[in-house]
Amino acid sequence: MATSATQITNYGCRTSRKNPATGTYLPLSDNQKACNRAHAKLRAPGERANAALKSWRALTRVRMSPERITDLVHAVTALIIAGH
């Protein structure tokens, strides 16, 4: 697993940079900042949906096959994302 200092997203955006000598974060260029904003916009709906699903304790008591639970979670996630 990569650390946040070396992690690169799927489309080549660097999420953060550290100075190896001091361990402090280096400033990001305007292009890197724009890339990080685009990455955050893509991740935000999924993160909101995951947070909502985790807060629903009813899903911890669901007794059905894993395939059906997966279908249920996909449907609920799609509805949550569409609602925002």
In this prediction, residue 11 carries a pLDDT of 55
28-82 pLDDT tens trace = 888 888 888 888 888 888 888 888 888 877 677 778 888 888 888 888 888 888 8
- DSSP-derived 3-state class of residue 12: coil
12-24 pLDDT tens trace = 666 667 777 888 8
Q: Which residue matches tokens 């990569």?
A: 2
Residues 6+ apart with CB under 8 A from 18: 5, 24, 25, 26
In this prediction, residue 2 carries a pLDDT of 44
Does the structure show a pLDDT above 50 at 1? no
In this prediction, residue 6 carries a pLDDT of 41
